[in-house]
Amino acid sequence: MAAATVSQPPLNAPAIPAIPAIPAIPAIPGRNDSSDSSRSSQTITEKIKLSSPLRSSSFPKNRSSQDGHFQVDRSVSPKRWKTFLKAFKHIHDLTPKEVDDFMASYEIYNLDWANEEEMVKAFGPNYQQRVGDCLRSYYSVLNHLCSLGDVEKMYIPPLMDKKASVLDNQLLYEESVAKDIGLRPGMKVLDLGCGRGRVAAHMTSFSGAQVTGLNIDENQIAQAREWNDHCGFSNEFVVHDQNDLPLPFADNSFDAFYEIQALSLCKDPQASFKEIYRVLKPGAKFSLLDWVSLPAYDPADPVHAGLMRRVKPLIGAVGTPTPASFEKALMDAGFGVTKSDNPSIGGLQAPLIDKVDIYFRSVRRLIHGLVRLHALPPHFKLLFDRLCLDGQAFVQMDNMRLITTTYRIIAEKPLV
């Protein structure tokens, strides 16, 4: 995440940030591969009533008793203006080498994990190390760029409620994850690709579970630990490349697992799922939300292929998984798949993608003006031009139901 968060800084506009054949597998209950686009209006109250009844009675502290409406838990959401200012300062102070390394990191997204010959040709036999280095350079800058808008968590969520903001759709989805994997106080849960630990903090505040977060970027882990201390939680955060197996945990360590748009960087999903299976306790549930190409996508169609070449760098995708490939990898690892669908209303994430894209393109116009006036260093323009490239191609692919970055799979490790 691939893929790609200020509530709304000065600007009103919303914001961005050869598939191998799969053998036939059994049908999955509730499977829905499809991915009505309508624009959402930003909500502005601190506790927002939403019409989607996602909460179960397991989480009474956040229920509203008024007319069946529900509220999101924003108690551990950072103050957006503080996050904006810190991110802006970090970007302002980037060295030329940090900027150059970030721009060069995009080279990995022109390739695909599935084509090892191309990877070796481009980066040599130790290509996995090169990809890891690129990812560190990529995320060391991208997490700060995303923090200037509503995607500090570095993911655009499923469209859970048309009236909710991007931020509150994130919170709604995260709370649905807690329900799907049965989080309760005292449970230990593994978060793969934890970023700055904002999702982990919300999971703990909402459910009482203790989260262990894993991420490749030391800077994000440092921020996660700082925010964890601020919140007074006992969550733990580990610097680790998800492709460096085995994972640094003992067998049967965790009661549950979730990941949000982290597997776009996973070299071998089946090997990763086997490792996750190992560290989960029997009966533990697994939640995946990630990018996939959908059945309507045809790599032989030049329009489809052209859009894909533009979108994969934008969302930070090296592989090209499908719902079926994820399901098969999970079942081969030993999991039972219980749900496989797209949780977005109407199967479309496009209204939220469009919000994010519009906001960042508005910020880019302001950045261009300030650079021309020499009020900002030139690298601001370079970085924002890269960040905003091809956002509308992403919207188009989602509307055409060719891809989605919000495909959900819930699985479970058998009790015996």
pLDDT digits (tens, 9 = 90+) for 268-290: 999 999 999 999 999 999 999 99
Parallel, antiparallel or unpaired: strands 280-293 and 254-260:
parallel
pLDDT in tens, 310-352: 999 888 888 889 999 999 999 999 999 999 999 999 999 999 9
Q: Which of 171, 169, 408, 153 is nearest to 286 (CA)?
A: 408
Instruction: Report the C-alpha gap between 271 and 289 in whole angstroms.
Output: 18
Q: Copy the structure tokens of residue 260.
A: 């949000």
On the question of pLDDT at 387 being above 80, the answer is: yes
Specify the higher pLDDT residue, 249 or 43: 249
Q: Rounded to an integer, what distance in angstroms lies between the CA atom of residue 274 and that of residue 355?
A: 37
Question: What pTM was estimated for this model as a whole?
Answer: 0.82
- When the pLDDT of each residue in the chain is averaged and rounded to a whole number, the result is 84
d(CA 13, CA 360): 8
- Pair 30, 339: CB distance under 8 Å: yes
